[in-house]
Structure 1
Amino acid sequence: MPVMSTTEKRQTYRVALVGAGYVSSYHLRALRTLPNVDVVGIADPDQTHARQMAAAFGVPRIFQSLEELAETSPDVIHILTPPASHCDLTLQALDMGCHVLVEKPMAITAEECARMMAKAAAQQRILSVNHSARFDPPVLRAFELIRQGAIGEVLTMDYVRSSEYPPYPGGALPAHYRDPAYPFRDLGVHALYLLEAFLGKIENLQVWHQSTGRHPHLLFDEWRAQVACEKGLGQVHLSWNSRPMQNTILVQGTRGALAIDSFLEICTLRRTLPGPKTASLLWNAIFGSVAHAVKAFWNAALYATGRLAPSPDIQRSVREFYLALASGNPPPVRAEEGRRVVAWVEQVAQQALAESRLREAARPAPKSARILVTGGTGFLGRGLVKRLLASGESVRLIVRREPPAAFRDHSRVDVVYGDLGDPATVERAIQGVDVIYHAGAAMSGCWEDFQAGTICGTRNIVQATLRHDVKKFVYVSSLSVLDYVNLSNGAHVDESAALEPFPENRGFYAHGKLEAEKIVLEGVRNGLQAVILRPGQIFGPGAEHVPPYGVVTVGSRWVVMGNGKTALPLVFVDDVVDAMVEAALHNDAVGHILQLVDAETIDQRDYIDICRQAQPGLKVTYAPLPVLYCCAAGLQMLGRLFGRRVPLTIYRLRSIKSLVFDAAAAREKLGWMPRVGVEEGMRQTFGRAAVPLIESTESGVS
């Protein structure tokens, strides 16, 4: 341990940060509370993030790299970058003569940690790791109670943590999705150093990981560990699926137990009391519940008034580091602790990586294919793929999860695993294909999901198509891109109708589809051989439980917006597949937008009555429009008050119209006429359910 001079103990430290991600905000909050710290700069290749963080916390200068940052002559550098860069950046900072506080995990391998420690010793600089959960207020309280003997001898510790990563908006996949072991590197490290803090050094570690398929990007989204330490046993459960979110620790001793909730910042003591066992159980249950509720409300009040800062553990950890630095004491977390934890994490990572490679090797070898289908495992995509295979074509799919066995194991199906939002995935998938059917799009989720799956995915595939000179591109758009609000009920609508001027007011799906269609049209102007299809509501076997247009699902109930008399722009799934296949064959359709809506019409109420006959348990409520408008007005006021999006707005209600869609262009360019039609399609979809008399709008096919 290098010894600080008296001058160095009293100095004001010039501090710089490398990395402007979300964790940097917590470090900066802590640093600005310290009187002996002057933050001189922040470096990040992403200058937008660096600029935003600097503006928020008054950091005077931003840089692109640690090399540039060196001109500020920092005394201390915080390394807040992804773990793979920790070692190189730490070595560079130590060579600059700086003390280093590096975020967890210390590095990727124990060998890297050893190099970092050796360099710190050679440079006589302090190297510490931010094991912040050790400094969480309820954890510190637990340490204090254990020192007081409140629970006797500590026996076990259980750590339960659920999590979610920031939404993926498209672009290169972030590290937490590329590395199969990243979830354990990210959160498992907290569990391991806490286990050592409560139970002594780890002596043995067994880890199991599972792929549930629920998360579209994480390979292993459930983790379980059993840990043997010097003084007891521990268990770890990490989940990216379990809800509600948890961050809890249970420490059990010979005379009591400590329950820690790190999200609510609460530590609850459960004691063994004199007298009957039942009395102890009742006392702990009643007192524990009351104490937990009181503390939760108190902490919520502190947080709301700004007296309890976000992530107080990181702030306390940073503060303790500078107190130790100024006093010449050892850092609160020694580098050796970081190395030990990384060594165990590295063992787990190697196991996860090995299984990932085995899974990859077990997949069928890549095959050549003439046709690429995006959205090939969706409702429409499945119908298209079946048709193409039946005609003898070879097909390639882009999927995030395992496709149906009938596709995965088919001799003429090639599967590319990845995300449409990832340019590298699209580049692999497009190799050697002549025709692309782009039906992939996000159907639910947050705005970032629609950015990735619909907008960024379309941009990636259009750009790759132009680079590879693909012969034909068929894009499935949507009628939702149209300006419904300014159309009158009963209006006849063709492809020249105005587009939605305020897509952000219509919802994520319509907004994403409109932006994607614009990308395809821009591609057409640059030579893309594309046909754009705008189908109405697609129905058929497999979509029986999908509510029709103007109907939303609330729990298990369908809520109809209005009296149920709105006409539905239906088209049977096989009829849409017909149009898609024809679009790839007709050169005179290139550059055109074609609506696909059946002339046979049925309203919401009749459609729902048929659904009820086929699904006797279906619950339906008809909500009068005046009531809905009042609800929408109230929700919008609340949304503005709390700065949140609301599910029902006046604008969306105004967009619900009975319209007559003209499919004449599809008949002219493709020779398309619905082969199955609505009436027969309803019979194929709902079986013996009675089909009412279907009306025909002549203009729908003229």
Structure 2
Amino acid sequence: MSNTRFRIGMVGAGKSCEFHVAAVKQLASGGADLELVGITDLDAARARERAEQWGTTAYADLEALVAAGANVIHVLTPPASHAAIAIMALKKNCHVLIDEPITADPEEARQIGVLAKQKRLTVGASHSLLFDPQVKQALDAVRSGELGDLVSVEILRVSEYPSFEGGTLPPWYRDAGYAFAELGVPCMYLLQELLGPIEDVDGQWTSLGGDPNLPFDDWRVSVRCKRGLGQIRLSWSSKPMQSQIVITGTRGARRVDLLAMFDGTLPRAAERLVNAFAESIRKVINVPINVWKFVRKEMSSSQGLRDLIADFYRRLAGGEPPTVTVEEARDVVHFVQKIAQAAEAEHAARLATFTRSDTVAFLVTGASGNVGKATVKRLLADGHRVRVMVRRIPEQPLPNVEYCFGNLGDRDAVDRAVQGAEVVIHLGAATKGGWPEHKVGTVIGTQNVLHACQKYGTKQLVYISSMSVVDWAGSVGKGSVTEAAELEPRPDERGAYTRAKLEAERLVVAAAAQGLPCVILRPGQIFGGGIPLINGAVARNAGGR
């Protein structure tokens, strides 16, 4: 039993820190012998702003936190820096609680564990999903023997990443294994908790087109554990969003639906008819109860994290080891990284098969679209050397075509594609989604293309605009529409596509005025290559003649 008052410092003032601060304050107000010393962040301005917002103190760094009396450090920074901060805190005789994953490298986790034992200090891993109310109910059912001996556990997570807004490419789009490394951690430690120590993993990953910016948007991983087999499926290609766990035993099964805020029993086949009504009622009852608790603040959206932090300090005060040891957290990182690194290696090997010459006659952006494909086909037929910029590796690359991969919103990727191209045919643009997607795909993408063309002295830019930028209402009764026609005065009301195309066209006009050789083409009716000649607009116009 420890009589030490726990004085807590937080390193990293991001979103996770907000929940940690709230949990610590809740414990302190409930009588726990602990207090929040303050927070620190590499972004000093953010630390000061958050400290004022949360009613605490901002410090310059970890050393300042310890000098102010902190003897427990919460490490809430990106995973790549977890080890360095945790080791520094341990060397200063502080206990440590580390956000998941415990480290980005299992060897770093081993080093943390060794140092913690040498210093006789506690290191906890923030595997908060184990404390989620629905998961805890399921774990209790398993431990009580309600489901019998476990046979398998299946985890499904259908997710999506926020829209890329341009600039530096985020890590989930930059690194082929990042998506699994990020979401695979909670899945892996759930399997570890339910089925025992992990013995081996085997995975498959592919690109189904759900998120064209992800190298792989569908992952299926088999996890062999000491007491059974687990399955993980992570998808960014399915709809709707889901987060489900199905636990199957010799006496029955249980489903946990983390998004619907309920868990329910799935009966055996012989019991299904008898229990169907009961299960339906259970779901109907559980959902309102959990929602009611949420509304009354008996259960918060971060309840699992709050309960984990409470458990960490209860065990710390009682001299008990944490619920999740460093060794267990290290094993999770090891097997997650085994899959993520294999995917990274496969993707890197595929990229290495594509080479780029110093110079090329034509670059075509948006080459995976119908017009882009037709343009590339025509250029090749005319004997030209062609480079294309696309977001993902094609299943069947075209012969005699150079490939550059990347998002138009990523200036570095566009720069690599444009360098050495004599003529740039800029077809790439967003065709679906809201304003964020159109802004980055069309407006920022065009800005990046123009910047690269000016930088490398491109001989000619051909920009493919759209007839949607024309003021059609104002052109009625004025004869044929030409390039001199007025532009749409209210593009916002025409939708994101028109608004973005018009903004991009104006950027090209401005670049031309600065000396960049530019041609703007506004296709009228596009047909062929699977696109029908007769569509609604053509039929209406033909009918009016």
Same fold (TM over 0.5): yes
Deviation at 1:359, TM superposition (A): 1.9
1:88 matched to 2:47: no
SS of the counterpart of 2:246? strand
Aligned counterpart for 1:331 among listed residues 310, 317, 322: 322
2:477 aligned residue: 490
* 8 A Cα contact 1:266 1:295, kept in partner: yes
* 8 A Cα contact 2:171 2:178, kept in partner: yes
1:319 aligned residue: 310
Aligned counterpart for 2:365 among listed residues 374, 378, 389: 374
SS of the counterpart of 1:458? helix
* 8 A Cα contact 1:104 1:131, kept in partner: yes
* 8 A Cα contact 1:251 1:257, kept in partner: yes
* 8 A Cα contact 1:377 1:404, kept in partner: no
In 2: Cα distance, 1:335 partner to 1:46 partner = 30
1:253 aligned residue: 249
Deviation at 1:526, TM superposition (A): 4.2
1:146 aligned residue: 142
Relative distance call for 1:26 and 1:494 in structure 2 (3 A) is farther
In 1: Cα distance, 2:249 partner to 2:406 partner = 47
Deviation at 1:484, TM superposition (A): 6.0
Larger relative contact order, structure 1 or 2 (CA cutoff 8 Å, min sep 6): 2
SS of the counterpart of 1:434? strand
Which amino acid in structure 2 is aligned with residue 374 of structure 1? T
Aligned counterpart for 1:230 among listed residues 217, 226, 230: 226
* 8 A Cα contact 1:368 1:414, kept in partner: no
SS of the counterpart of 1:509? helix
SS of the counterpart of 1:470? coil
In 2: Cα distance, 1:533 partner to 1:239 partner = 39
2:379 aligned residue: 388
1:449 aligned residue: 437
Moved more, 146-155 or 101-110: 146-155
Aligned counterpart for 1:309 among listed residues 279, 300, 304: 300
Relative distance call for 1:365 and 1:514 in structure 2 (3 A) is closer
2:499 aligned residue: 511
Which amino acid in structure 1 is aligned with residue 230 of structure 2? G
* Runs of 5+ consecutive residues of structure 1 not aligned to the other structure: 550-601, 608-691, 696-702
In 2: Cα distance, 1:158 partner to 1:55 partner = 43
SS of the counterpart of 1:419? coil
Deviation at 1:212, TM superposition (A): 2.4
Equivalent positions of 1:393-404 (< 5 A) are 393-403=384-394
In 1: Cα distance, 2:296 partner to 2:489 partner = 41
SS of the counterpart of 2:352? helix
Moved more, 303-312 or 427-436: 303-312
Deviation at 1:131, TM superposition (A): 1.0
Aligned counterpart for 2:11 among listed residues 1, 17, 25: 17
In 1: Cα distance, 2:255 partner to 2:158 partner = 16
Equivalent positions of 1:88-237 (< 5 A) are 88-237=84-233
In 2: Cα distance, 1:415 partner to 1:512 partner = 26
1:605 aligned residue: 540
Aligned counterpart for 1:30 among listed residues 23, 34, 41: 23
2:517 aligned residue: 529
Deviation at 1:142, TM superposition (A): 1.8
Deviation at 1:443, TM superposition (A): 0.5
* 8 A Cα contact 1:31 1:39, kept in partner: no
In 2: Cα distance, 1:532 partner to 1:334 partner = 62
Deviation at 1:62, TM superposition (A): 8.0
Deviation at 1:351, TM superposition (A): 2.0
1:342 aligned residue: 333
* 8 A Cα contact 1:18 1:77, kept in partner: no
Deviation at 1:53, TM superposition (A): 5.4
User: Which structure's CA Rg is the greater one?
Assistant: 1
Which amino acid in structure 2 is aligned with residue 394 of structure 1? R
Per-residue displacement from partner, 1:307-329 (whole Å, max 9, x unpaired)?
54224222322332233334443
Aligned counterpart for 1:471 among listed residues 459, 463, 472: 459
Deviation at 1:291, TM superposition (A): 1.0
1:423 matched to 2:411: yes
Relative distance call for 1:489 and 1:500 in structure 2 (3 A) is closer
2:398 aligned residue: 409
Relative distance call for 1:223 and 1:382 in structure 2 (3 A) is closer
Relative distance call for 1:386 and 1:200 in structure 2 (3 A) is closer
In 2: Cα distance, 1:296 partner to 1:60 partner = 39
Per-residue displacement from partner, 1:286-337 (whole Å, max 9, x unpaired)?
2112211222233344445655422422232233223333444322322111
Per-residue displacement from partner, 1:559-609 (whole Å, max 9, x unpaired)?
xxxxxxxxxxxxxxxxxxxxxxxxxxxxxxxxxxxxxxxxxxx6x5255xx
In 1: Cα distance, 2:64 partner to 2:463 partner = 46
Deviation at 1:454, TM superposition (A): 1.2
Which amino acid in structure 2 is aligned with residue 257 of structure 1? A
TM-score, normalising length from structure 1?
A: 0.69
* 8 A Cα contact 2:442 2:500, kept in partner: yes
* 8 A Cα contact 1:249 1:261, kept in partner: yes
1:699 aligned residue: none
Equivalent positions of 1:521-670 (< 5 A) are 521-544=509-532, 548=536, 604-606=539-541
Per-residue displacement from partner, 1:54-93 (whole Å, max 9, x unpaired)?
6764555487x76787786644433333333322333344
Relative distance call for 1:509 and 1:319 in structure 2 (3 A) is farther
RMSD (Å) for aligned C-alpha atoms: 3.2
Which amino acid in structure 1 is aligned with residue 477 of structure 2? G
Relative distance call for 1:256 and 1:530 in structure 2 (3 A) is same
* 8 A Cα contact 1:376 1:385, kept in partner: yes
In 2: Cα distance, 1:481 partner to 1:312 partner = 50
* 8 A Cα contact 2:97 2:124, kept in partner: yes
* 8 A Cα contact 1:54 1:62, kept in partner: no
Deviation at 1:543, TM superposition (A): 2.1
* 8 A Cα contact 1:163 1:239, kept in partner: yes
Deviation at 1:24, TM superposition (A): 4.0
In 1: Cα distance, 2:212 partner to 2:534 partner = 22
Relative distance call for 1:410 and 1:51 in structure 2 (3 A) is farther
SS of the counterpart of 2:417? helix
* 8 A Cα contact 2:367 2:376, kept in partner: yes
Relative distance call for 1:295 and 1:112 in structure 2 (3 A) is same
What is the count of residue pairs matched by the alignment?
A: 539
Deviation at 1:162, TM superposition (A): 1.5
SS of the counterpart of 1:244? coil
1:436 aligned residue: 424
2:290 aligned residue: 299
In 1: Cα distance, 2:329 partner to 2:462 partner = 53
In 1: Cα distance, 2:470 partner to 2:68 partner = 55
Moved more, 263-272 or 155-164: 263-272
Which amino acid in structure 2 is aligned with residue 104 of structure 1? E
SS of the counterpart of 1:538? coil
Moved more, 171-180 or 142-151: 142-151
2:39 aligned residue: 41
* 8 A Cα contact 2:11 2:77, kept in partner: no
In 2: Cα distance, 1:395 partner to 1:46 partner = 48
Per-residue displacement from partner, 1:93-147 (whole Å, max 9, x unpaired)?
4445543322222222211111222333445543221111111111111222233
Relative distance call for 1:52 and 1:160 in structure 2 (3 A) is farther
